Amino acid sequence: MHFARGSQAIKFPLGDGDYRYRTNSITTSNNGQYVIVTGHKEYGFTKYNVILTSNDYGETWTCTHKAVNYEYTTSVAMSSDGGIAFVGEWNEDSNDGIVKKSKDYGQSWTTVKTLPQYYKPIEIAISADGTTVFVAALDTYDESNSELWTSNDIGNSWCYKPHKFMKSYPKSIATAGEDGSILFLIMSTNELIKVVNPNTVTATISKTTMEGCSFDTVYTSSNSQIVFIRTKYKGEMILIGSGDEGKSWKRIGVSVQSL
């Protein structure tokens, strides 16, 4: 469940002097016991980028990956039990993007996908059972293009689907259903896109905009059945939700618009 993004200061006792890091992305297991945070800090011209893990509800932390200067983590996602996790990493110097996988609750990481040069992994979503993974990558050479890479076998093999809606880039993505058979994306064009069976030739795509809404983040409940969207509505940041896989949306019992 990829439940938080953005940048805020958090202190982690890593024993490396000033340990105030800015968070890039946070993910947690369903019960909240396992947490993974990607973060960064800067000392003058030197950048430090880390992956931090906790197996006790955030009480204690371990740094399981550290990179200096050009490499930094972008997005992280975890299976419902916390055992499987994926993280995106970007090298500003070589313009290379990679995807790393952990099969031990974030304690160790292995590169499982190297993206085409100039494609930066910006969003990652994973099914509740950990088998299906989606990686949205932005073409940093031409930001009007992006790609969606998918894996149905825990990141062992990958395929690229040239969906037409990827001509803009996603700001946030999330899966629904235990096996990730439904994918929701919030695009830079402020469209909410729902893709059913995104890894097949029979994939069906629907999209909508909601009058007065500026979409920010999409994520799912612990059982991947309820979809939530953080959105700005008439200047107010609100939360809308759907319990029927995006067919209808409500805010505090008020229907917003069907998808």
Where is average pLDDT lowest: 86-100, 167-181, 210-224?
210-224
Take residue 166 and report the two structure tokens written for it.
């990827």
Residue range 26-65, pLDDT digits in tens: 899 988 899 999 887 776 677 778 898 999 998 888 889 8
CA dist 175 and 128 (Å) reads 8
Residue 169 is classified by DSSP as -
pTM of the model: 0.84
pLDDT for residue 47: 75
CA dist 94 and 91 (Å) reads 6
Residues near 90 by Cβ (< 8 Å), separated by ≥ 6? Answer: 71, 72, 73, 74, 96, 97, 120, 121
With bands split at pLDDT 50, 70 and 90, how would you rate the model's confidence at 99?
very high
pLDDT for residue 226: 81
**Which residue spans within 55-114 are E strands per DSSP?**
62-68, 71-78, 85-91, 96-102, 110-114
Take residue 160 and report the two structure tokens written for it.
């690229």
Residue range 5-22, pLDDT digits in tens: 444 444 555 445 555 667
